[in-house]
Structure formats: C-alpha cells, structure tokens
Structure 1
Amino acid sequence: MSELSYSTTSSVIESWERLKRIKNYQEVAGVTVFQRLFEKCPQARVLFGFPIDIDTNSSELLQSKRFLTHAAHMMDMMDAALSMFLGPDMDMLHEIIDELADKHRRYGVTAPMFPVLGEGFLLALETHLGESFFDNKMKEAWKETYSLLSCEMINAMSK
C-alpha cells in the first residue's frame, strides 16, 4: 500500500478526531454515509434486507436498528482502519481487509459501490464538520486516503 504525505495524514487525522467529538458520531455520520450509498446504489438496499424502492429518508429505514447498527459499525471499522493505516499496524490492517473483503464479497458487495461509499464519507465529513473546516485541502486528503483503502479492499475482494 502506498504511503501518504505528512500533510495528507495530518489532515485526515485532524478531521477524523474532530468528527469523533460529535455525540454519537458513529450513528450520526454513519447514517449520512449509508443514505448516500442507498440513494446512488439502490441495489445496496437489498443487501441490507430493505426493499429496493425504500425511501432513503423514511422512518422505516432511519429508525431501523439493523440500519443504525451497521452505520455505526462502519464508522467503527473506519476508525480502526485509519488507526492502523496511519499508524504502525499495516500488517494487521491487511489481514483485516482480507477478512472484510471475503465477507463483503459473500454478501454481494461490488466494486462500483466503493466510490459511492467514499462520496458518502466526504458528505458526512462536510455535513458534520462544516465547509469552513472541511475545506478543499482536507477533502483531497480524504479522497487520497479513501482511494488507497478502497483499492486495497477491492483488490482483496477479487482474489
């Protein structure tokens, strides 16, 4: 996996730590991420056991324990991945990515869903941190970081 510049790493860490200060950030930001995924990839709704035509703003979705739990879990996984990716635990990260890739492949997740999920992360960060903090420099740092992580996952899914 490629290395990130100090500037990129520090921007990602700074913004992620700020996001984590928001009460219930896992659920709050996770819902934003998955709403974007469900809006742009309706077939993802079915993977979570929802009808393909469910309204992404409906209370049926937004109050679903399964939806909220998975949204929060995704944010926890991103937190763990960032800690390993931006820290000394790269070998462990590769093992975790391989395991996650195998699970997600079996669930029916496809490579085209990853860029949309990335859009969801950017939207969540911008929405919950504000445009004045989450500026273009920070957005580019996140794009680079997410691209590296998602490419690893996609490559692992194709093994």
Structure 2
Amino acid sequence: MKKIIIGSDKSGFTLKEAIKNHLIEKGYEVEDVGMYEHEEKRAYFESAKIVASKVSSGEYERGILCCGTGMGMAIVANKFKGVYAAVVESSFPAKMAKVINNANILTIGGWLIAPIQAFDMVDNWLNASFTEGFPEDRQEFLKNALNEIKKIEDENFK
C-alpha cells in the first residue's frame, strides 16, 4: 500500500504538512483533503468526515488526521463503519494500534507531537501488520476480536 489520505484542521495543519512531505519523500502517493492554507477555516469534523468516508468506502486502506490533540478527529472518524481510528502520542502505541487493533486511521495532535516524533510514529504504523509478532494462539484471539467488533458495528451502524 503506497496510497494514503491525510487531512487536518487549523491546529493540526503544520503537522499534517510535515507528515505529508515525509510520506511523499518515502514514495507514498498522498491525497491531501485539506486544510490547504494555515489561514483557512475548517472544523476538525469536516476533514475527519472526508478521510473517514474514503477509508470506510475502501477507496483508501489507511488515513492520517491531525488536529490539536487527535481526539476530536478520532471521535468523528470512528462514526464510520469499518474505520478504526486510534489517537497516538508515541511510536510504540502507533505500531500496536495496527498490530493489535488493526487501526486504519491514525490521529495525531499538532499541539502535542513534534514532526520528527510523528514521522517515527507514522512509519511504525505503516510498516506494521495486523497480529505481527504474536504467537499463533494470540493471533487467532486478535482475529476473533476483530470479527466480534465487526458484528458490533453491524448491529449498531444501520
């Protein structure tokens, strides 16, 4: 997967731009859904909705959202079926968000995380795979857990 979608609000704009440039340098095709200029006015839920809908539809496998803390973006993104957005503030949880929870959207706080930290977080997440490194019985548990979560989604997302 070398395609990724990214978006931000004003508080996450500078971090989003840095992450976007980092991904492009790494050879990723990046769709930036905005904000496009620091002076632009856009609420966190607007960018989160665009990114989450494109991940939910399968157009993108993974997305990144940047706001002040990452929390508002995660709340919105997780309203979409099939979206597993994780707020992360360091590299190990970023990796484990994919390994354990199969997170397909990473949300990061521009008020909290320096670009160099974010690059490592994003790289760890993108290079991880679901259940990687776990023994077979634990992998089976994680796969079953994800199936149970999908059943909960089916019951609650009408």
Answer 1 or 2: which has greater strand percent: 2
Q: TM-score, normalised by structure 1?
A: 0.30
Q: Which has the higher contact order (CA 8 A, sep 6+)?
A: 1
